[in-house]
Amino acid sequence: MAKVAFLLAKNYEDSEMKVPYEAVKEAGHETTIVGLEKGAVCEGKKGTVSYTTEVAVADVNGNDFDAVIIPGGSAPEALRVNEDVVRFTKELNSQNKLIAGICHGPQVMISADVLKGKTATSFIGIRDDLKLAGAEYKDEEVVVSENIVTSRTPKDEPAFVREILAKLS
């Protein structure tokens, strides 16, 4: 089974964490919640769920995991300005490992410069940023482009989860 990191900070979109997290766990994969620091209690922006980070991103590297999943909301803007988040994402990408993001999650991919030459989607409000980062933008429920999997909104979660599980199997 795969080792899957969830990259989290407070104010993520609740269901974009909960739904993939439970599905990946249920499929038998090993999950780790990675944050800006260890032991940080992270509530979703809607306040319906809360998760505690298990390890600081400064203490992980691309060899430790097979994949990273990045929920949306406001969390990606807090994560993407952290040098270790960028380093960790680049390391996974250089090993061609799965990087999956939904809604604003792809903002981390922009900062890590892993979208050049890929096709991708996101919340429409950051569409132009993905294009400037070198992605070909598609308005589809899920876009799979080599190791990059992206979706637009909570409504796309079933398709997002389906493609993540397919990549991990």
Residues that bind a copy of itself (CB under 8 A): 74, 76-78, 80-81, 107, 110-111, 123-129, 132-133
Q: How far is the CB of 80 from a copy of itself (least distance, A)?
A: 7
Work out the angle at residue 67's Cα, subtended by the Cα atoms of residues 59 and 46, and round it to the nearest 5 degrees.
Answer: 85
By beta-carbon proximity to a copy of itself, the closer residue of 93 and 111 is 111
| Active-site residue, 104 included | yes
By beta-carbon proximity to a copy of itself, the closer residue of 2 and 75 is 75
Among candidate residues 4, 103, 114, 149, the one labeled active-site is: 103
Q: How far is the CB of 77 from a copy of itself (least distance, A)?
A: 3
Which among 78, 32, 84 is positioned nearest to 61, based on CA atoms?
84
Among candidate residues 10, 29, 80, 104, the one labeled active-site is: 104
How far is the C-alpha of 102 from the C-alpha of 17, rounded, in Å? 9
Q: How far is the CB of 151 from a copy of itself (least distance, A)?
A: 17
Residue 165: how many other CB atoms lie within 10 Å: 16
Contact 163, 21 (CB under 8 A): no
By beta-carbon proximity to a copy of itself, the closer residue of 29 and 127 is 127
Q: How far is the CB of 111 from a copy of itself (least distance, A)?
A: 5
By beta-carbon proximity to a copy of itself, the closer residue of 110 and 149 is 110
Q: Where are the alpha helices (DSSP H) in 38-133?
A: 75-79, 83-94, 106-111, 127-132
- Cα dihedral 127→130→134→139 (10° resolution): -50
Catalytic positions are 103-104
